[in-house]
Amino acid sequence: MLDFTILTENIGMFIEGFKNTLIVSLLALIGSFILGTLIAVFRIAPIKPLNWIGTMYVEFFRNIPLLIILFFIFVGLPVLGVRFSGFQAGTIALTIYTAAFIAEAIRAGVLSVHKGQTEAARSSGLTYVQTMRYIILPQAIKIVIPPLGNQFLNLVKNSSVLTIVAAGELMYQGDLISSRTFVTFDVYIFIALFYLIITLPLSYGVNRLEKSLAKSN
């Protein structure tokens, strides 16, 4: 049976970890969505140099471990005189890493809108940007929601890696509590439950959004 005294006696640390995970996730979610959209635009725009930059970004950051990005920012950049706290380095690393996946999801969504839609819009005199804004993106967003939801869930879970740089999030607090009390099993079960408090509603919200957007068509 689970030992709930572990939870009640250390509730302050659990809550602190939960709060930090929530904040890191939220910041990285917003940051990676904005950065990912920008990179997706780079990849799709009819301008070759932008395509190259976008492709390089995606292929680089998607294909190296998150941990390496994190270490580079936390212990690599200080060599150049740029210092971040564990919390800051973690947020930046998560944002950079997740943005690569989000860019791909958005790009795939935009490309899945039939090219006849672009032709119809452009032939009526709309500019490229207007066509994107009024015709393509509103249709792409419906296609993009499920893969985007997956990326956000991954982001929350990946934030556990930040324990390595002492970002103060859930996993880190769990490690602290278990090393202090020598209780491992119960602590990590409680930590897992705290992650679920974030991810399950997120998952539910994404499903709801997907359904309501599908209905509007």
Which residues are at the interface with another protein (CB under 8 A)?
Answer: 114, 116-117, 119-127, 130, 134-135, 138-139, 216-217
Query: Would you say 8 or 216 has its CB closer to another protein?
Result: 216
The nearest distance, CB 160 to another protein, in angstroms, is 38
The nearest distance, CB 41 to another protein, in angstroms, is 20
Query: Would you say 67 or 209 has its CB closer to another protein?
Result: 209
| Measured CA distances, 49 to 52, 103, 104, 105, 213 (Å) | 5, 17, 18, 21, 35
The nearest distance, CB 214 to another protein, in angstroms, is 12
CB neighbour class for 152 (10 Å; exposed up to 12, middle 13-18, buried from 19): buried
The nearest distance, CB 114 to another protein, in angstroms, is 7
Contacts 24+ apart (CB under 8 A), 182-186: 183/3, 183/6, 186/2, 186/3, 186/6, 186/7
Query: Would you say 40 or 121 has its CB closer to another protein?
Result: 121
| Measured CA distances, 157 to 61, 121, 199 (Å) | 18, 41, 8
Task: Give the sign of the dihedral formed by CA 61, CA 62, CA 66, CA 67.
Answer: negative
Query: Would you say 135 or 155 has its CB closer to another protein?
Result: 135
Query: Would you say 117 or 184 has its CB closer to another protein?
Result: 117
> Letter for the amino acid at 155?
L
Rg (CA), the chain: 21
The nearest distance, CB 135 to another protein, in angstroms, is 6
